[in-house]
Structure 1
Amino acid sequence: MKLIRIKRQTRTEKRFSPKMGKLYTDVTYIRKEFLSIPIRTLHKYRETYYGEIKDCEDCLLSR
């Protein structure tokens, strides 16, 4: 049994972009876990409608 592992999880979130306004998008989190308890988020990104991969720092959380 591994004590520390890397896990990828996708969930739908509500985001706000100045150009597009409010949008619902799938956000993928890459987290480090210790005994199935998340320690920290290593990276989070989202995929656009056109298939581009963007960092979540580009869009603000809902206003």
Structure 2
Amino acid sequence: MKILHIKRITKHEQRHTVKMGVLNTKVTYIKKYLFGLPIKTLHKYRETYYGEVKDCNDCMLFI
């Protein structure tokens, strides 16, 4: 068992943007794990319909 490792996980989420409204997209999280427990999210990004990769800071979570 590794002490420290990094995993990439992709989830489907509903996001809300001002220009497009509700957006269903795949969001990829890169997390750091210590003994199998998540410590910190290093980066999260999403892919647009056109294949462009964007940071998740420009859109809000839809609740």
Higher share in helix: 2
Count of residues paired in the alignment: 63
Runs of 4+ more than 4 Å apart: none
Gaps of 5+ in 2: none
Q: CA RMSD in A?
A: 0.9
TM-score (norm 2): 0.94
Is 2:51 the partner of 1:57?
no
Q: Which residue of 2 aligns with 1:24?
A: 24
TM-score (norm 1): 0.94
Structure 2 distance, partners of 1:16, 1:10, is 18
The letter for the 1-side match of 2:31 is: R
Q: Secondary structure at the match of 1:23?
A: strand
Structure 2 distance, partners of 1:57, 1:19, is 15
Gaps of 5+ in 1: none
